[in-house]
Amino acid sequence: METRTVPPDSPAAPAVTASYRWRWVALLVVLCAEIMDLLDALVTTIAGPTIAGDLGGGDTLIQWLSAGYTLAMATGLLIGGRLGDMFGRKRMFLIGMAGFSFFSLLCAMAGDPTTLITARVLQGLLGATLLPQGLGIINEVFAPEERAKAFGAFGPVMGLGAVGGPILAGWLTDADILGLSWRAIFAINIPIGVLALLGAVRFLPKNRPDRGLGVDLLGTGLAAAGMFLLVYPLVQGRELDWPLWCFAMIAGSLVAFVLFAYVERSRDRSGRSTLVVPSLFTKRAFTGGLVTGLAFFSALMGTSLILTLYVQAGLGYTPVQAGLTSVPQAVGMILGFGIGQALTARIGRSTMHLGFLIVIAGLALFAGTIGWSGDAINALRLAPSLAVIGIGMGMAMTPFFDIVLSGVDDHESGSASGSMTAVQQIGAALGVAVLGTVFFGHVDGGTGSRTEIFGSATQVTTWVGIGAVVIAFALTFLLPKHTREDVAAQS
């Protein structure tokens, strides 16, 4: 299950006016974009097996439906906010919304795996152009005293999307409206996108572009190359029996990231714009947060994919049944956010520690439930472990951005926030690639009944996910103990 975390420090911008007449309508338009992105990140996890059964492409297609979207999103987020500063947030919002809607239509019309994956990648890129503009627009149209209330609207909306998204995806796929089947999960974006475009044209304000800003195209290209060279062989390698070029690509990804660091440092020394402020990598809080987020979000997205594959392919559930099975985890996550908010002000970083430990316990209970239940396994038996996982995830994620950003300087916070949001997407792509590969590898080599084969593969993969969470837990000790606000309040 994907979650969208709003960075605490969105791009700075001169406010239009606190009394901007249509600011609450503008917020609704921005929330439409967030909902579209959240749903599109969730729906293919539920509908993936049905899509693969219709178009072919098998296990690899299921992995790329999620990994391609999140990988493109991560790359685009590196420069999405800067494009809004350079060319105007309203203009880039309109371009992003129009493009996202168009490529949603292309997804719905796809007749083969290649077309669908290509459209998903382009969806992710346009989504990365779209989403950062909304945060900047909210900063512009709301006065400081109203911004907390405006950003507070994201929580309930995202929570509702997290609960309703999988159910909606399953229902649309099963209902076969107008004979569309899985295509309806993409087609539904079209009317939403048209309404959001009309609302954006009428109600979003224009900001003054800063054409003097630059875009680090070389850095962007190296970062994108590094991510692609890492994820592609992890997804394709198992199917091709791990040829030598897979390992060469992984080694090439390390070279690309080293070159990226060199280019960023060189540009910073010469006074040119950079994707990431190089001084961030000297901060323990940032580097620790980077690796912590990578490990945790990999486990989060990877295990969510495995759950869906297990209940559909292993237990024979329909897409809507699979969506309903994931509801306890989504509800648990919402409860976890509430618990996390109450605890963070008191115990700071320890809230993350508790959250990670609860996730580990929930995943262990999930794997154990599958083993103990045998053929009697069902959604009701899985519900307690999924609820525990969700509560832990919500608690761990609540203070994550605030804690990480409290360890960086004010002038670095924008770059750090954008980088951490991109890492959330990279982690999701990496989790789908790694855990999906482990899962399908065990399915291919399994023996016994279908339920036994998929149950065993799910157990093994879940323990890999537990390992990732354990790594994330250990790395949290590199982070500051409290947020800046908490330190100021205590002093």
Predicted confidence (pLDDT) at residue 420 exceeds the cutoff of 50: yes
The residues, any chain, with a CB within 8 Å of residue 322's CB and separated by 6 or more, are 46, 166, 170, 308, 311, 312
* Together in a domain, 93 and 236: no
CATH of the domain at 36: 1.20.1250.20
* Together in a domain, 72 and 136: yes
* Together in a domain, 296 and 367: yes
* Together in a domain, 206 and 232: no
Q: What is the pLDDT of residue 14?
A: 47
Tokens 């990648």 correspond to 121
Say which residue, 217 or 97, is predicted with more confidence.
97
pLDDT digits (tens, 9 = 90+) for 73-123: 888 887 887 788 788 888 889 999 999 999 999 999 999 999 999 999 999
Residue that terminates a domain, selected from 214, 245, 264: 214
* Together in a domain, 245 and 294: no
* CA 236 to chain CA mean position, Å: 21
Contact 37, 99 (CB under 8 A): no
Q: What is the pLDDT of residue 353?
A: 92
Q: State the CB neighbour count (10 A cutoff) for residue 269.
A: 9
Q: For all residues of the chain together, what is the average pLDDT? A: 84
pTM of this prediction? 0.82
d(CA 367, CA 455): 9
Contact 368, 422 (CB under 8 A): no
Give the closest residue to 229 by CA, choosing from 214, 251, 207, 212: 251
pLDDT digits (tens, 9 = 90+) for 133-160: 877 787 777 777 776 677 666 666 766 7
* Together in a domain, 142 and 247: no
The pLDDT-based confidence of 6 (bands split at 50, 70, 90) is very low
* Together in a domain, 313 and 430: yes
Q: What is the pLDDT of residue 11?
A: 43
Say what percent of the chain tops pLDDT 70.
89
* Together in a domain, 12 and 70: yes
Residue that terminates a domain, selected from 255, 272, 289: 272
Say which residue, 413 or 269, is predicted with more confidence.
269
pLDDT digits (tens, 9 = 90+) for 320-368: 898 899 889 888 988 988 898 888 878 888 899 999 999 999 999 999 9
Say which residue, 296 or 207, is predicted with more confidence.
296
* For range 373-388, the mean pLDDT: 92
d(CA 396, CA 349): 9
Number of domains in the chain: 3
Residue that terminates a domain, selected from 206, 241, 272: 272
Q: What is the pLDDT of residue 483?
A: 61
* Together in a domain, 220 and 210: no
* Together in a domain, 136 and 163: yes
The parent domain of residue 7 ranges over 1-214
The pLDDT-based confidence of 410 (bands split at 50, 70, 90) is low
* Together in a domain, 165 and 199: yes
Predicted confidence (pLDDT) at residue 10 exceeds the cutoff of 70: no
* Together in a domain, 91 and 50: yes
